[in-house]
Amino acid sequence: MESAQFVSSAPGRVNLLGEHVDYNGGAVLPMAIDRYVRIEARLQEGGKICIEARDLGRIVEFSVGSLAEKVDTKGRNLPSWALYPAGVAWALVQHGLEVQGIQAVFNSSVPVGAGLSSSAAVEVAFGSLWQAMAGFSLPPLELAKICQLAENKYVGVNCGLMDQFASACGVAGSAVWFDTRTHESKPVKLPGNTVIIVADTGVRRGLAGSAYNDRRASCEEALRHFQGFLPGIESLREVTPADFEKYSTGLGEIPLKRSRYIVLECARMDKALEVLSRQDAAEFGSLMKETHIGLRDDYEVSCPELDAMAEIAWVQPGCYGSRLTGAGFGGCTVSLVQREKAQQFEASLKEGYLGRTGKNAEVYICEAVGGAHAGRV
């Protein structure tokens, strides 16, 4: 954009372990990756917000005063892609923070609908932009919470906090352990001489229109069941595998399967910290594989292409573990691979996936990066 006054950038993320537990009180292990949403913007008077999504070839204009109505300046419903920046503006206003009129252009190297949190990156990038423009300063975690509020209450997706947290609070060179119940976090080094490789199946899903909210409702149903036996628990994270075996009788088939996955995934996350503290790549990779199987069989959020990608990865030289990442129903796998085998792994994965599905895969060797930032040009 010519005459841009501000720039903002926020990374996507890949989650290494702890899938779907963020809205069940569990701990997660995301990593901000070197794929970004980038915005160039300048101030505009009158509270008008004009945003061009360059990758989509779309432009929308709405005003700060009409945020609650979710309509553009001509009274038409906002397009779905515009709900994310508009929702952030709305959430900032709800917190008593200033949102200024802007002209903005954004583009993204985070694949949309691939499970790498493109929507959270858009939210955090716009939140960072408005913060820089108005001059207020929120801790990154607080900005992440505001962006989560936008997605929950404005967009209508009952996501947990992990995606926005990872985009706002990423740490260069490390994954980040994040306790979604206490909001504690700490950087975690991955085993030496390994790389993280993300493989995109090319299958896309719309998160709001997917079965995501159904999974969350099943977990809430299971929690109410276990609370009848374990008074005082507030999340499925507090149900141990032993508790599950003892008290799960009487649960319907669907909440039984959903909650079994969550309980075992929370236990895997507890084990993962100990495994990574001794830099055990093979055992961490085994945990990743167990997660994929649970997501496939109990949580039922995989698809044939994700299964094919993971299964091809499991038998490649130098691959410690691989699984689907993100909400599922399409998108990407994430693999932990020996650094010296990374190029061979990439080529073999592409070849195997094409042979099995007839589809081409995009494969990215990813670096861990820091969180969002914004400022004057």
Confidence check: pLDDT of 209 > 60:
no
The pLDDT assigned to 206 comes to 56
- What is the residue-averaged pLDDT of the chain? 94
Q: Are strands 6-15 and 30-43 parallel, antiparallel or unpaired?
A: antiparallel
> What integer is the mean pLDDT of 160-164?
90
Mind telling me the catalytic residues?
A: 163
Asked whether the beta carbons of 42 and 102 are under 8 A apart, the reply is yes
Stated pTM of the model = 0.91
Per-residue pLDDT band for 208 (boundaries 50, 70, 90) equals very low
Domains of the chain by start residue, with CATH: 6-188+370-376 (3.30.230.10), 194-366 (3.30.70.890)
Asked whether the beta carbons of 337 and 326 are under 8 A apart, the reply is no
Taking only the tens place, the pLDDT of each residue in 263-276 is 999 999 999 999 99
Confidence check: pLDDT of 36 > 80:
yes
With a pLDDT cut of 90, the percent of the chain lying above it is 89
Tokens of 311: 């299964």
The pLDDT assigned to 210 comes to 58
CA 295 – CA 265 distance, rounded (Å): 9
E runs forming strands in the chain? 6-15, 27-28, 30-43, 48-53, 58-63, 102-108, 175-179, 185-188, 194-200, 319-325, 332-338, 362-366, 373-376
The pLDDT assigned to 110 comes to 87
Taking only the tens place, the pLDDT of each residue in 136-146 is 999 999 999 99
Taking only the tens place, the pLDDT of each residue in 64-89 is 999 999 999 999 999 999 999 999 99
With a pLDDT cut of 70, the percent of the chain lying above it is 98
Taking only the tens place, the pLDDT of each residue in 222-257 is 999 999 999 999 999 999 999 999 999 999 999 999
Per-residue pLDDT band for 53 (boundaries 50, 70, 90) equals very high
